[in-house]
A and B are shown apart, each in its own frame.
Chain A
Amino acid sequence: MEFMEKWQEKRKKVWFHTVCFLFITMLLLAGCAEEGESQEADEEDGSQEDVIEVGILHSLSGTMAISEVSVKDAELMAINEINEAGGVLGKQIVPIIEDGASDWPTFSEKSRKLLEQDKVATVFGGWTSASRKAMLPVFEELNGLLWYPVQYEGLEASPNIFYTGATTNQQIVPSVAWLLENRGKKFFLLGSNYVFPITANNIIKAQLDSEGGELVGEEYTELGHTEYSTVIAKIKESKPDVIYNTLNGDSNVAFFKQLKDAGISADDITVLSVSVAEEEIRGIGAEYLEGHLVAWNYFQTTDTPENKEFVDHYKEAYGEDRVTADPIEAGYNAVHLWAKAVEKAGTTDVDKVREAAKGITFAAPEGTVTIDGDNQHLYKKVRIGEVTAEGQLNEIFSTEEAVKPDPYLSSYTWAEALTSP
């Protein structure tokens, strides 16, 4: 009896020590890694700061990881390019990578860490509007600088954010105008239920009203929703000319597959998507998307010498089967634009860089982009592409010139009601 008891006690003791040991080792390891980094930085600080630290804050885990990891890769590639060419102000750029974990409060916490703890010169990051909205107050409070690489719903212009993706008048508004002219007047709006699709559709509705379009249906589904038979039944009933698709993520796979199964092809109804790029086409399968349209500022097939180099470079660095896409390119541009602004300012000081960034141009893969001094967005060309059987995009429309960004749509009279309560 006593032996058993003793033995059990001993076993418990062993367990306890094992767990304690493991836990403490893990914490220590983590602590050491951190310590090591900061020591390194300190040493370098000692030798007159010959590096510039920048933050990279994307979701490396969670639902958004699939999209954001590629942007992180492009940003790292741009940093490498600049470092190989001698760095910025003669210093090498050192990225500090943090995981936003597809969770908005985490984005806010990590941006505070990057700015307060690591004192980085700037941060490249974010994908969803929610993550940007979560980071914005932190960047404004601590006067940091954020480069946000994704097209979004507009109605924002923070002095602490540079927006290198399209705003609404560089993607949605011109694509709706093009559709009205070329594909028909009857629109069906389909989107995921969150801020970007809802705001985008509010804008589209106002535009349809004033430009003679007709709204025949509007549907929202939750993120990750995969059952579209009801929606497709409504589409069949309302007979639209165009489905304007602002679905995000996995839902696109289900929607396009079920649309094809229901016997609706691109010849019957055109679907124009604004959140489907080369990367997503690969996931959905080109056979379901062939003939449908997308609106972006950049395609992998965009024909510029800079793009050839960019695509080659990207494939070389990350694998032949990887594709480039609009947000990936926008993230890449962001790093180069920041480096140029720093060179011009002669310092990484946020206020001076912001001042210097006004009017900076960069020969980007999509064509020359320019930072608009008024709202810190980019002048960009608008493109509409048709999905080919190979899963690439064939440009069927492009604006002649890069379009001036107008996040508040102030040059459109029909948009007045949207921007002021």
Chain B
Amino acid sequence: MKQGLGTINRESQFKWIVYMLILGMMLLAPLFLSDFRLMLLAKYVSFAIVAIGLALIWGYTGILSLGHGVFFGLGAYGMAMYLKLEASGGKLPDFMVWSGQNELPWFWMPFSSFFLTLLLIVIVPMGIAYGLGFLTFRNRIQGVQFTILTQALVLIVVTLLIGQQAFTGGSNGITGFKTILGYSLSDPTVKRVLYWITIGVLALLFALAYWMTKSRFKRVLLAIRDGENRLRFIGYNPAVFKAFIFAVSAGFAGIAGALFVLHVGIISPSMMGIVPSIEMVLWVAIGGRNSLSGAVLGALLINYAKTTFSEAYPSLWLFLLGGLFVISVILLPRGFMGLMKDGMQKIKKRRKREDANENNIDFTFGESKR
């Protein structure tokens, strides 16, 4: 008993030190990177936020969503609408003029306020996710069927966005932003501040997700994953929990989308289609879906690889990336973090064996002797 507690503390202490080191490094990154590389890093970080949300529902609850591009896109469009209105300076956004639209559609109105925009970025994806989640989970639709539903959602939303060109910019998406709250988006200082905000949001949401996975709530989630019927017989209503965690994860994606737009300066339906949605799941799969840090690592690594490959081999990079996916999925069914954990387990086991051999009873201090 004593020994167990001792190792857990030491291990988690070690873990937190590593997290803090990584966080520190990321905060200092602007000192070493050019503006362009910093923009890329910020983009990866916003993808990492989506990955945390996906790990929450997939790794911890067993809900596989292939529709997170939609929630990412909804957040991104929210921020883009705010930025576009600010860039248009009270006039009608340019693409509406080309498309023959004469006045601002009603659903654009709230986005003239920054505060409302921030709220809607989280609330809209969460609301839609909760609605979809509750209706399907209440009818005990789960597993593959739910996954297919999320794909259908992607198709619907993307078709709608492309079709309603006068309201949404169509397949062009929304671009041409200038300022945020009056500060120029092209100013390097503003870019750095936005980068730090992004890192801050990542840390905050990571901590939130971490807390959720350490609380009693986690037990319910795991129970849903491993034995939903039993949980129902005990008296819980899994539908509410599932819809809730699905909505939280969608909220994460929405926030990530908004940050993405701030750094990249464009959002279009191509960023939220079926392929990007599946890509998001791949980051988590490769990083390790049973671990939040694995998801973050996966998103950062895969996107870094994507950029590096495409810059080095413009006509071959898709094959390299595809090869990487195939290899990882075949050889690492639980992702990089799964392997790391196996490694740790092994070390622990060996230690235990050695300890037993030494006949050392005082396990807690025995650890520090080595």
Seen from chain A, the residues whose Cβ lies within 8 Å of a Cβ on chain B are 9, 12, 15-16, 18-19, 22-23, 26-27, 29-31, 33-34, 60-61, 97-99, 101-105, 108-109, 112-113, 116-117, 129-130, 133-134, 136-138, 141, 153, 155, 193-195, 198-199, 202, 222-223, 418-421
Contacts and interface: CB of A to CB of B under 8 A. Distances in A.
Nearest to B174: A133
Q: Which one of A9, A97, A195, A418 has the greatest number of beta carbons of chain B within 10 Å?
A: A195
A355 B304 CA distance: 39
Contacts of A133: 172, 175-176
A27 B308 contact: yes
Given A23-B301, A33-B312, A98-B310, 8 more contacts: A19-B328, A26-B309, A30-B320, A97-B314, A117-B37, A136-B176, A421-B91, A421-B102
Given A30-B312, A137-B177, A198-B165, A19 B171 contact: no
A33 to B, nearest CB: 4
Contacts of A129: 172
A193 B331 contact: no
Nearest to A56: B314
A153 B311 contact: no
A105 B311 contact: no
A198 B176 contact: no
Nearest to A192: B171
B30 interface: no
Interface in B315-357: 315, 317-318, 320, 324, 327-328, 331-332, 339, 342-343, 346
A129 B172 CA distance: 7
A12 B35 CA distance: 41
Report, nearest first, the 7 A-B pairs whose CB atoms are least far apart.
A30-B312, A116-B36, A33-B312, A130-B172, A99-B314, A30-B308, A141-B186
A401 B35 CA distance: 47
Contact of B308 (A31, A101, A102, A105): A31
Given A105-B267, A109-B264, A198 B170 contact: yes
Contact of B268 (A30, A31, A104, A113): A104
Contacts of A103: 270-271
Nearest to B320: A26
Contacts of B308: 27, 30-31, 34
Interface stretch (B3-11, B46-54, B61-69, B92-100): B92-100
A137 B175 contact: yes
Contact of A222 (B159, B186, B267): B159
Interface of B: 34-37, 39-40, 43, 91-92, 95-100, 102, 159, 162-163, 165, 170-173, 175-177, 186, 264-268, 270-271, 301, 304-305, 308-315, 317-318, 320, 324, 327-328, 331-332, 339, 342-343, 346
26 contacts: A9-B342, A26-B309, A30-B305, A34-B308, A34-B311, A61-B315, A61-B317, A97-B315, A98-B314, A101-B310, A104-B175, A104-B270, A105-B267, A108-B264, A130-B172, A134-B173, A134-B175, A134-B268, A136-B176, A138-B265, A193-B170, A194-B165, A195-B170, A198-B165, A202-B99, A222-B163
A358 B97 CA distance: 29
Contacts of B173: 104-105, 130, 134
A155 B172 CA distance: 15
Would you call the interface of chain A mostly helix, strand, loop, or mixed? helix
A3 to B, nearest CB: 16
B328 A99 contact: no
A130 B268 contact: yes
Contacts of A61: 315, 317-318
Contact of A117 (B36, B97, B102, B310): B36
Q: Which one of A27, A30, A420 has the greatest number of beta carbons of chain B within 10 Å?
A: A30
Contacts of B271: 103, 105
A28 to B, nearest CB: 10
B99 A199 contact: yes
Contact of B162 (A12, A193, A419, A420): A193
A385 to B, nearest CB: 28
A18 B36 contact: no
B283 to A, nearest CB: 14
Given A15-B332, A99-B317, A194-B171, A112 B39 contact: yes
B265 A193 contact: no
Contacts of A19: 327-328, 331-332
A15 B338 CA distance: 12
A206 to B, nearest CB: 10
A98 B317 CA distance: 11
Given A30-B308, A30-B309, A105-B270, A112 B171 contact: no
Contacts of A26: 305, 309, 320, 324
Contacts of A30: 305, 308-309, 311-313, 320
B77 to A, nearest CB: 13
Q: Which one of A105, A153, A194, A419 has the greatest number of beta carbons of chain B within 10 Å?
A: A105
Contacts of B270: 102-105
Contacts of A29: 312
Contacts of B91: 421
A143 to B, nearest CB: 11
A138 B40 CA distance: 14
Given A113-B311, A195-B165, A105 B170 contact: no
Nearest to A35: B312
A153 B327 contact: no
B183 to A, nearest CB: 14
A109 B303 CA distance: 13
Contacts of B331: 15, 18-19
Contacts of A31: 308, 312
A103 B69 CA distance: 15
A119 to B, nearest CB: 11
A421 B271 CA distance: 30
Contact of A421 (B92, B159, B264, B267): B92
Contacts of B171: 130, 194-195, 223
A34 B312 contact: yes
Given A19-B332, A108-B175, A222 B162 contact: yes
